[in-house]
Amino acid sequence: MEAATINRNFKKRVPPKELLLKIGIYLLLIVGLLSTILPLFWMISTSFKSQEAIFEIPPRLIPKHISFENYINLFKQEIDFAKAFQNTLIVTVSYTIGALLVPAMAAYAFSKLRFPGRDLLFMIFLATMMIPSQVTLIPNYLSINFLGWLNTYRALIIPPLANVFNIFFLRQYMLGIPNELCEVARIDGASEGLIFFKIIIPLLKPALATLGILNFTGMWRDFLWPAIIATDSSMYTLQVALYTLFGQNQASTTFGVVMAGAVLVLLPLFLIFLAGQKFIVKGISTTGIKG
Amino acid sequence: MRKKYLTPFLFLSPSLIIIFCFVIFPVFFSLYISLTDFNVRSLVNWGNAKFIGLKNYRYLLQDELFLKCIVNTLYFVVLMVPLVLVLSLTLALLLNLPLIKLRNFFRMGYFMPYISDGIAISTVWYWLVSKDYGILNHILSWFGIKGPGWLTDVRFAMLAIVGLVVWRSLGYYAMLYLAGLQNIPQQMYEAAEIDGANRWQKIRYVTIPLLAPTTLFISITSMIGGFQLFTEPLTLTNGGGPMDATKTIVLFIYENGFRYFKMGYAAASSYILFAFIFIVTLLQIKFGDQQY
């Protein structure tokens, strides 16, 4: 209604008060947006500055000379950033595949199969969502230590797979798939495995895309668990490597190299965001609605 | 008949094993550890940990540093949550105005920081608010304000962290509010208009009450997130400085557990964190039900 009124006014002749309001709102949004983007821009800009240019006063928003020395130095550090990138990629990709498949299987059992105790078990699963990860941090570290898994990929990948939110999300989605679809296949003699892989999984694609992006970016950003599990520098993930680099360079004149590292860490996240915008928006609006 | 149980079990077994081993068992194990003096010696042989009852909890409640961490965490939550609510609602209302073209462009722009969560963005923020070379103090100098050492001054360090967290999460919560705004039926506004409500009254008496479920969700989510504040003070203020002004409960757990290997003490403090988060969750259940 408000929309119609304003548009009509706008088309006829714009009352000065409305125009002023409109300009004011746009100005507010643009100033807000600029200050939102500024830190990210500042990071990129600093990463391309030479050592001397970083400490210039007044600071320059766009470097006078584009310098790649920070990026070159980044790969000459004690910490092997290329290895950290590789570690992160291996861990994140394996985790994401597991974090889709394992919960999808559980969600299938919870939504399409009947067995005694199903609802009780699901309630127990849901209840575990209340437990903050800090509570299980110490015992999980002890278990990993006990198994001799410190500094291994499996220790970085497997414990985070205990992801009840994914089960919940996929179960909700599967409840929307008509049961008749499975029944017909069952009558035709299809096994549950076949139904799951050939019927359910293809129908889940949009949900899996959303969840895949959320889990990939979430794992890429994870810090605390890798920080205590990957203590050997050859097993560092990007986040741990960047934290260590930051610790070594924060007071010195080499802060540009930290910014280059930060760009390297964030770049894949932004690329995924640009590619998967649609799914991210969808994921957020579906998770938000339940509130 | 047996096959009927076998199939669901096969589908569930990976989740069951992982959730049992890494969530359910550790919750109880953690409770047990919190009742022992588990320390670096016990790491080699768990048998070295002695059962000491509630001593860890008693010490914690007398530990000035821990109490300070609780106060700091609460201070952070009390500052951050209302700021997040007011700013994200304002942003969503502005973006939802019919006269805004390029809505998607703005929305995505504001959402950008949310993707860049983590250590990386904390290092950027560290540089941004640096006393002498940071761009924030430079901008303040245009207005004749001499910016403080944001991260080195006891009074300002937590504010800098609040700033970072609000900046990062604003776009995300605004998106939740936008989704909520789409669900408000137009008739509500029309009815209010017939009753002679002006623009502000419509927001006050129609929009805000109808957004209550979203507001509750955002309050709870950001509160729980706030209690778990860790990466930002770890990086920005080197683990909770200056003079422990930004030390949080999770930092306390991390330091005791993984720097001093006082695992029993750390486990007890993690249970106190759990209690705080549990109370917030109960609030959600209580008020969440009232909505429907």
Q: What is the pLDDT of residues A41-81, one digit of tens each?
A: 989 998 998 887 877 777 777 888 888 989 998 888 888 99
Tokens of B63: 């530990």
Task: Give the model's pLDDT for residue B166.
Answer: 95
Q: How many CB pairs under 8 A join A and B?
A: 260
Name the residue range of residue B175's domain: 64-261+268-290
The pLDDT of residue A103 is above 90: yes
Task: Give the model's pLDDT for residue B101.
Answer: 79
Q: Indicate whether B111 belongs to any domain.
A: yes
Name the residue range of residue A40's domain: 2-72
Give me Rg for the CA atoms of chain A. 25
Count the neighbouring beta carbons within 10 Å of the beta carbon of residue B128: 23
Q: What is the DSSP string of chain B?
A: -HHHHHHHHHHHHHHHHHHIIIIIHHHHHHHHHTTBT--HHHHH-GGGPPB-TTHHHHHHHH-HHHHHHHHHHHHHHHHHHHHHHHHHHHHHHHHHSTT-S-HHHHHHHHHHHHHTTTHHHHHHHHHHT-TTT-HHHHHHHHTT-----TTTSTTTHHHHHHHHHHHHHHHHHHHHHHHHHHTS-HHHHHHHHHTT--HHHHIIIIIHHHTHHHHHHHHHHHHHHHHT--HHHHHHTTTT-STTTT--HHHHHHHHHHTS--HHHHHHHHHHHHHHHHHHHHHHHHHHHHT-
Q: Is A171 helix (H, G, I), strand (E, B) or coil?
A: helix
Q: Rounded to the nearest 5°, which phi and psi values hold at B262?
A: -90, 75
Q: What is the pLDDT confidence band of residue B130, given thresholds at 50, 70 and 90?
A: confident
Residues of B in contact with A143 (CB under 8 A): 21-22, 26
Q: Is B19's CB within 8 Å of A128's CB?
A: yes
Query: For residue B100, what is the nearest residue in chain A, using CA coordinates?
Result: A26
- Residue from the list B116, B179, B238 with its beta carbon closest to the beta carbon of A285: B179
Tokens of B15: 């989740």
In angstroms, the separation between the Cα of residue B291 and the nearest Cα of chain A is 10
Side-chain half-sphere CA neighbours of B77 within 13 A = 24
Query: Are residue A64 and residue A83 in the same domain, yes or no?
Result: no
Task: Give the model's pLDDT for residue B142.
Answer: 87
Q: Indicate whether B48 belongs to any domain.
A: no
**For B179-219, how does the pLDDT look when each residue is reduced to its tens digit (9 = 90+)?**
889 888 888 888 888 888 888 888 888 899 999 988 998 99
Query: Are residue A269 and residue A254 in the same domain, yes or no?
Result: yes
Could you identify the residue written with the tokens 């999300």? A169
Task: Give the model's pLDDT for residue A14.
Answer: 63
Q: Indicate whether B177 belongs to any domain.
A: yes
Among residues A53, A72, A91, which one ends one of the domains? A72
Say yes or no: A85 contacts chain B, CB-CB below 8 A: no
Query: Are residue A13 and residue A137 in the same domain, yes or no?
Result: no
Query: For residue A100, what is the nearest residue in chain B, using CA coordinates?
Result: B15
Q: Is A79 helix (H, G, I), strand (E, B) or coil?
A: coil
Query: Are residue A190 and residue A268 in the same domain, yes or no?
Result: yes
Q: Determine the number of helices (DSSP H) and then strands (DSSP E) in chain A.
A: 16, 0
Q: Indicate whether B33 belongs to any domain.
A: no
Say yes or no: A22 contacts chain B, CB-CB below 8 A: yes
Query: Are residue A47 and residue A149 in the same domain, yes or no?
Result: no
Task: Give the model's pLDDT for residue A1.
Answer: 44
Mutation for testing the B interface, residue in A46, A134, A213 having most B CBs under 10 Å = A134
Task: Give the model's pLDDT for residue B118.
Answer: 80
- How many structural domains does chain B have? 1
Query: Are residue A184 and residue A235 in the same domain, yes or no?
Result: yes
Query: Are residue A212 and residue A125 in the same domain, yes or no?
Result: yes
Task: Give the model's pLDDT for residue A168.
Answer: 93
The pLDDT of residue A6 is above 70: no
Q: Is A136's CB within 8 Å of B231's CB?
A: no
**For A276-291, how does the pLDDT look when each residue is reduced to its tens digit (9 = 90+)?**
887 777 777 665 443 2
Q: Indicate whether B187 belongs to any domain.
A: yes
Percent of chain B with pLDDT over 90: 52
Q: Is A188 helix (H, G, I), strand (E, B) or coil?
A: coil
Q: What is the pLDDT confidence band of residue B100, given thresholds at 50, 70 and 90?
A: confident
Q: Indicate whether B6 belongs to any domain.
A: no
Give the CATH number for residue B194.
1.10.3720.10
Give the CATH number for residue A83.
1.10.3720.10
The pLDDT of residue A5 is above 80: no
Query: For residue B23, what is the nearest residue in chain A, using CA coordinates?
Result: A136
Between residues 142 and 181 of chain A, which touch chain B (CB distance below 8 Å)? 142-143, 145-146, 158-159, 161-162, 164, 167
CB neighbour burial string for A158-169, b if at least 16 within 10 angstroms, e if fewer: bbbbbbbebbbb
- Cα distance between residue A9 and residue A11, in whole Å: 5
Question: What average pLDDT does range B143-154 have in this prediction?
Answer: 86
Among residues A72, A90, A116, which one ends one of the domains? A72
Task: Give the model's pLDDT for residue A61.
Answer: 79
**First vs last Cα of chain A: how many Å apart?**
27
Q: Is A223's CB within 8 Å of B231's CB?
A: yes
Residue of higher predicted confidence among A53 and B120: B120
Residue of higher predicted confidence among A83 and B200: A83
Residues of A in contact with B281 (CB under 8 A): 130
Give residues with Cβ within 8 angstroms of A115, minimum separation 6: A109, B4, B5, B8, B9
Between residues 223 and 252 of chain A, which touch chain B (CB distance below 8 Å)? 223-224, 228, 239, 242-243, 246, 250
Q: Is B273's CB within 8 Å of A132's CB?
A: yes
- Cα distance between residue A189 and residue A197, in whole Å: 15
Task: Give the model's pLDDT for residue A265.
Answer: 92
Q: Indicate whether B204 belongs to any domain.
A: yes
Query: For residue A145, what is the nearest residue in chain B, using CA coordinates?
Result: B43
Count the neighbouring beta carbons within 10 Å of the beta carbon of residue A234: 11
Count the neighbouring beta carbons within 10 Å of the beta carbon of residue A136: 23
Query: Are residue A55 and residue A132 in the same domain, yes or no?
Result: no
Residues of A in contact with B101 (CB under 8 A): none
Residues of B in contact with A242 (CB under 8 A): 119-120, 123
Query: Are residue A13 and residue A67 in the same domain, yes or no?
Result: yes
| Average pLDDT in chain B | 89
Residues of B in contact with A54 (CB under 8 A): 133
Query: Are residue A43 and residue A89 in the same domain, yes or no?
Result: no
Residues of A in contact with B254 (CB under 8 A): 224
- Residue from the list A54, A136, A192 with its beta carbon closest to the beta carbon of B26: A136
Give residues with Cβ within 8 angstroms of B255, minimum separation 6: B239
Taken in order A31, B124, A223, B262, the sign of the CA dihedral is negative
- Residue from the list A135, A242, A258 with its beta carbon closest to the beta carbon of B30: A135
Q: What is the pLDDT confidence band of residue B292, given thresholds at 50, 70 and 90?
A: very low
- Cα distance between residue A43 and residue A61, in whole Å: 10
CA nearest to B164, candidates B191, B125, B192, B195: B125
Tokens of A89: 């990629």
- Cα distance between residue A219 and residue A92, in whole Å: 6
Mutation for testing the A interface, residue in B7, B11, B104 having most A CBs under 10 Å = B11
- How many structural domains does chain A have? 2
Question: What average pLDDT does range B2-26 have in this prediction?
Answer: 89
Among residues A46, A72, A98, which one ends one of the domains? A72
- Cα distance between residue A269 and residue A257, in whole Å: 19
- Residue from the list A33, A58, A265 with its beta carbon closest to the beta carbon of B106: A33
Query: Are residue A134 and residue A195 in the same domain, yes or no?
Result: yes
Query: Are residue A280 and residue A192 in the same domain, yes or no?
Result: yes
- Cα distance between residue B164 and residue B147, in whole Å: 17
Q: Is B29's CB within 8 Å of A139's CB?
A: yes
Taken in order A37, A42, A43, A44, the sign of the CA dihedral is positive
Q: Indicate whether B21 belongs to any domain.
A: no
Say yes or no: A33 contacts chain B, CB-CB below 8 A: yes
